[in-house]
C-alpha cells in the first residue's frame, strides 16, 4: 500500500522559513518523480514543484521560483520542500504527491497523494 505522510507544517512569519517533509512507503521511492501541490483556504489546487526520481531535474511554479527548493533523500524515502521568504499568500495545505513516471517533463499525473500539512503565514 502506498503511503505518503507529510510533516513540518505550522505557523511561519512573513519573510521566514519552513521546511516540509514527506515520508513515503509502499513503492520504490527512487523510481518515481515526486511533487508538492498546495491548496489555499477555500481555493483550488496549485502545483508547486516536482523532482525527478533520481533528483537530477527539478521544476517550480513561477509563484515559488527562487524562494522554494525541492529535494529528496532516496536512501530515506523522504521528500522535502524548503520554503524561504514566506509570503501570506503561501498559506495553504501542502500535499505530497507521487508521480506515475520517473520524469517530470511530460504529460503525466499524480497517482497517490498524502493527507497534507497545513502552513499558515502570518505575523
Partner 1 sequence: SYVLAQPPSVSVAPGETARITCGGNNIGTKSVHWYQQRSGQAPVLVIYFDSDRPSRTPERFSGSNSGNTATLTISRVEAGDEADYYCQVWDLRSGHVFGTGTKVTVL
DSSP string of 77-116? TEEEEEE-S--GGG-EEEEEEEESSS-SSSS--EEEE---
Q: Residue 66, class by beta-carbon neighbours within 10 Å (0-12 exposed, 13-18 middle, 19+ buried)?
A: exposed
Q: Work out how close the CB of 59 gets to partner 1 at its nearest, in angstroms, rounded to a whole number.
A: 5
Three-state DSSP class for residue 7: strand
Q: Among residue numbers 90 through 109, which ones bind partner 1 (CB under 8 A)?
A: 95, 100, 105-109
Q: Select the residue interacting with partner 1 from 20, 35, 51, 53 (CB under 8 A).
A: 35
Give the total of residues touching partner 1 (CB under 8 A): 25
Return the number of the residue (14 or 112) whose C-beta is nearest partner 1: 112
**3-class SS at 31?**
helix
Q: Taking the complex as a whole, how short is the minimal distance between the CB of residue 123 and partner 1, in angstroms?
A: 28
Binding site for partner 1 (CB under 8 A): 35, 37, 44-47, 50, 59-62, 95, 100, 105-116
Amino acid at each position: 500500500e502506498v503511503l505518503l505522510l507529510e510533516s513540518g507544517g505550522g505557523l511561519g512569519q512573513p519573510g521566514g522559513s519552513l521546511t516540509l517533509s514527506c515520508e513515503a512507503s509502499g513503492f520504490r521511492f527512487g523510481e518515481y518523480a515526486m511533487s508538492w501541490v498546495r491548496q489555499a483556504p477555500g481555493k483550488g489546487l496549485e502545483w508547486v514543484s516536482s523532482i525527478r526520481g533520481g533528483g537530477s531535474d527539478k521544476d517550480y511554479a513561477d509563484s515559488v521560483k527562487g524562494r522554494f527548493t525541492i529535494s529528496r533523500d532516496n536512501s530515506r524515502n523522504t521528500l522535502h520542500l524548503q520554503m524561504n521568504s514566506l509570503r501570506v499568500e503561501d498559506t495553504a495545505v501542502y500535499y505530497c504527491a507521487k508521480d506515475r513516471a520517473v520524469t517530470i517533463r511530460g504529460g503525466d499525473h499524480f497517482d497517490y497523494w498524502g493527507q497534507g500539512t497545513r502552513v499558515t503565514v502570518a505575523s
